[in-house]
Structure 1
Amino acid sequence: MAALELSSSRHGDRTVLHVSGELDIISRAELITCLDKVIKQHGGKIILDLTGLDFMDTSALSTVVSYWKRLTTTEGGFLALAGAQYRTSRVLWITGLAQRLPMYDDVAAALADTETRSAADDAS
């Protein structure tokens, strides 16, 4: 079992949260703490980099969905996923959430698209 590792990097007004290891019912508390800290310090424009993710269970998925809804509906932000591989996060595809959540092949694509959205939001 691979321990959950979280780190973050800033890209303008967005934060990339790098997730590696296993994200499950036990380790999701670490994710919640980290997401809350990022939101408090930097705001709610977050990209979850799932490239290093080895496993995600449904409890972790519900946490991701909860933050996605919260950030997009009440806090004026967003939560996007980058680098999710079917073999490690198939729960996204099985539940149909892969078609609903903003997903990108990699962090570079997510940053490029969300930069355009952030600029459009700032112009409004």
Structure 2
Amino acid sequence: MLRVAETREGRWTVLHVRGELDLVSSPVVRQRVHDAVAAGDRQVVLDLSEVFFCDSSGVGVLVAARRLMRSCQGRLRLVLPARGAEEGSHVNRVLAALGVRRLFEVYADAASAADDEASPLSA
């Protein structure tokens, strides 16, 4: 089961995603990003630190969210902790394996993702 909670960190909307990001649940994340943009939010953080599974449809939603944010001159950042239960987050490994990790600005936590002075983690 997937859960998405929304918080604010300064000027950033943070969507905390928890659970599995797959064919069944990924439309929920897509809709929440669209809702944020419709509400006028142009700086969105997807906190994926509690996502323990991500399939190709989940990756597709992340790529589509990036495209949407860029089309409205917005910014998208991901939270993908470098270390997790299995030496790195599942989403981070999937994005790297598919060669799309480099497309995203990735941070270790939501606070640094919402900090305009913080540098993204290297791929």
* Deviations 1:94-113, CA, capped at 9 Å, x for gaps: 0122222111111122111x
* Deviations 1:19-40, CA, capped at 9 Å, x for gaps: 0000101101111221111111
The TM-score normalised by the length of structure 1 is 0.81
For structure 2, the 5+ residue unaligned runs are 83-87, 119-123
> Are residue 93 (structure 1) and residue 96 (structure 2) matched?
yes
Q: Give the CA deviation at 1:87.
A: 4.1
Alignment-mate amino acid for residue 32 of structure 2: C
SS in 1 for 2:90: helix
Q: Which residue in the other structure is 1:4 paired with?
A: 2
Q: Which residue in the other structure is 2:106 paired with?
A: 103
What percent identity do the matched residue pairs reach? Answer: 28
Contact 1:83–1:107 (Cα < 8 Å) also in 2: no
Highest CA radius of gyration, 1 or 2? 1
Q: Which residue in the other structure is 2:121 paired with?
A: none
* Deviations 1:1-33, CA, capped at 9 Å, x for gaps: xx1010011123210000000010110111122
Q: How many residues align?
A: 112
Contact 1:13–1:42 (Cα < 8 Å) also in 2: no
> Are residue 44 (structure 1) and residue 42 (structure 2) matched?
yes
Q: Which residue in the other structure is 2:66 paired with?
A: 68
Provide runs of 4+ in structure 1 moved above 4 Å.
none
Q: Give the CA deviation at 1:116.
A: 4.3
Give RMSD over aligned pairs: 1.7
